[in-house]
C-alpha cells in the first residue's frame, strides 16, 4: 500500500539550502520546497507504509541540525 504524506518543517536557521538538500537526500522524500509563512519547508514523501512515514520524520528530518518542529499530514485521496 503506497502512502503519500506532506511534512511541514519549521526551522531555526537561515541555512535553508543545507536543510532542504538534507531532507531531499532522505529515502522516500520525493521533493521539498522552501515556503513563505509560519513553516519554512514542505516535504512530500511517498513510501510503502504509514510506519515508514514515521521513520522518515523521527529518524531523518527531526535530527537535522536547525530543524525545530514538524507536522505530518497523511494524504487520504
Partner 1 sequence: MRFTIIGAGRVGLRTARVLREEGHEVTLVERDAETAARARERSFEVIEGDGSREQVLREAGVETADAVGALTSDLNANFAACLIGKGHGCRTVLRIDEDYREGIYQQYADEVDEIVYPERLGAIGARNALLGGSIQAIADVAQSLQILLITITDGSPMRGYTLSEVALPSEARILAFGKADSPLGIPLPDDSLEAGDRVAVLAEFSELAEVRQLLVGDEPATAVAGGE
State yes or no: residue 76 binds partner 1 (CB under 8 A): no
Phi/psi for 15 (5° steps) reads -80, 65
Minimum CB–partner distance for residue 43 and partner 1 (Å): 16
Residue 12 burial (10 A CB sphere; 0-12, 13-18, 19+): exposed
21 lies in the site for partner 1, by CB under 8 A: no
- Residue 2 or residue 36: which is nearer to partner 1 going by CB? 36
The answer to whether 30 and 44 have CB atoms below 8 angstroms apart is: yes
Interacting residues toward partner 1 by CB under 8 A: 11-14, 16, 34, 36-38, 40
Amino acid at each position: 500500500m503506497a502512502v503519500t504524506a506532506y511534512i511541514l518543517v519549521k526551522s531555526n536557521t537561515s541555512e535553508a539550502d543545507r536543510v532542504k538538500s538534507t531532507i531531499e537526500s532522505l529515502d522516500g522524500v520525493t521533493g521539498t520546497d522552501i515556503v513563505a509563512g509560519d513553516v519554512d519547508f514542505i516535504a512530500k514523501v511517498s513510501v510503502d507504509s504509514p510506519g515508514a512515514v514515521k521513520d522518515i520524520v523521527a529518524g531523518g528530518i527531526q535530527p537535522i541540525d536547525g530543524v525545530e518542529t514538524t507536522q505530518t499530514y497523511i494524504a487520504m485521496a
